[in-house]
A = this chain, B = another copy of it.
């Protein structure tokens, strides 16, 4: 366990995948510094993330943010960071650790599919350069994949948590994902939620957790926007067949 605060490195202008890490840290009241949100004169800003990617933190060079520095350890990949923090602070029971990781990875698959609705051809191109393919991909996502994925999560959310009777970071991640879907695909989501009461209840329960509620009301909470994963492009929010 680290005695110095954790350091989170993530792009300061979007919630993105960093927000999944922030929710765990906030919910568990773990002290952390959101490095890139510090002033550039204090070593913050996006350039701190660039330096971390380059390997300037020492330890294992990470592929991409979010990146967590925990004392001498540098951990990258959202699900690995969540699994690491949960194990370090007994936020998940030993027997539930693998199940939590497994569910988090399915959420990550869903998040990746959301990203690819607006970037089906290349993450290095602008949305406007791949709009036709995006429209096509989003149609399949909204009409086929999203209902299948949410029906699946609904079927395992009766515990009433996603990992049985135990609150875990997976519930926080599902909350963030549903918030994002509501931002990016409000029409499509509203057509599905009538048959996903477990997920809706879970979402509200997370929102009302004291530490989460305080965080959501604070200026540390990052709003969705059109540079992130969940983007509001009305032309992609098709009606479910």
| Pair B61/A80 contact, Cβ less than 8 Å | no
| Pair A75/B98 contact, Cβ less than 8 Å | yes
**In-complex Cβ contact of A120 among B79, B133, B145, B149 (8 A):** B133
CB neighbours (8 Å) of A84 from chain B are 98
**In-complex Cβ contact of A125 among B99, B140, B149, B152 (8 A):** B140
Oligomeric state, in copies: 2
Given contacts A84-B98, A101-B83, contact A144 B124 (CB under 8 A): yes
**In-complex Cβ contact of A80 among B102, B123, B155 (8 A):** B102
| Pair B106/A133 contact, Cβ less than 8 Å | no
- Per the CB 8 Å criterion, the residue count for chain A at the interface is 40
Question: A77 to B109, alpha carbons, bound, how many Å?
Answer: 10
Task: Looking at the assembled complex, report how far the CB atom of A98 sits from the nearest CB atom of chain B, in whole angstroms.
Answer: 5
Question: A62 to B106, alpha carbons, bound, how many Å?
Answer: 9
Question: A55 to B134, alpha carbons, bound, how many Å?
Answer: 33
| Pair B106/A63 contact, Cβ less than 8 Å | yes
| Pair A77/B60 contact, Cβ less than 8 Å | no
A235 CB within 8 Å of chain B: no
A14 CB within 8 Å of chain B: no
**10 A–B contacts, CB within 8 A, in A order:** A55-B155, A61-B152, A61-B155, A61-B156, A76-B102, A80-B98, A83-B101, A120-B121, A120-B137, A122-B145
Query: Which A residues lie at the B interface, using CB under 8 A?
Result: 55, 60-64, 73, 75-77, 79-80, 83-84, 98-99, 101-102, 105-106, 109, 112, 116, 120-125, 133, 136-137, 140-141, 144-145, 149, 152, 155-156
The 8 A-B pairs with the shortest beta carbon distances in the complex, nearest first, are: A122-B140, A80-B102, A77-B105, A77-B102, A80-B101, A63-B106, A84-B98, A133-B133
